[in-house]
Copies of this chain bind each other. A is one copy, B any other.
Amino acid sequence: MGKAAENGRVRKIMLILSKATIDNVYACFILANGARMEGIEAEIFFTFFGLEAIQKEKLEHLHVATVGNPAMHIPTMVGGLPGMEALATKMMKKEMEKLDIPPVGEFLEILSASGVKLWACKLAMDMFHLGTEDLIEDLDGVLTVGDFYDKAAGENTHLMFI
Contacts and interface: CB of A to CB of B under 8 A. Distances in A.
B71 A67 contact: no
A107 to B, nearest CB: 14
Contacts of A18: 23-24, 27
Interface residues of A, number: 69
Report, nearest first, the 6 A-B pairs whose CB atoms are least far apart. A68-B68, A34-B145, A20-B71, A63-B70, A49-B71, A160-B161
Interface in A23-80: 23-24, 26-27, 30-31, 33-35, 37-38, 40, 47-49, 52, 62-71, 75-77, 79-80
A160 B157 contact: no
Q: How many copies does the complex hold?
A: 3
Contacts of A33: 145
A145 B80 contact: no
B70 A21 contact: yes
Given A10-B153, A16-B27, 20 more contacts: A10-B149, A13-B159, A16-B31, A18-B24, A20-B71, A21-B69, A21-B71, A22-B70, A27-B161, A31-B161, A34-B149, A35-B149, A38-B150, A62-B70, A63-B70, A68-B68, A76-B79, A77-B80, A99-B123, A160-B161
A68 B69 contact: yes
Interface in A82-97: 82, 84-85, 95-96
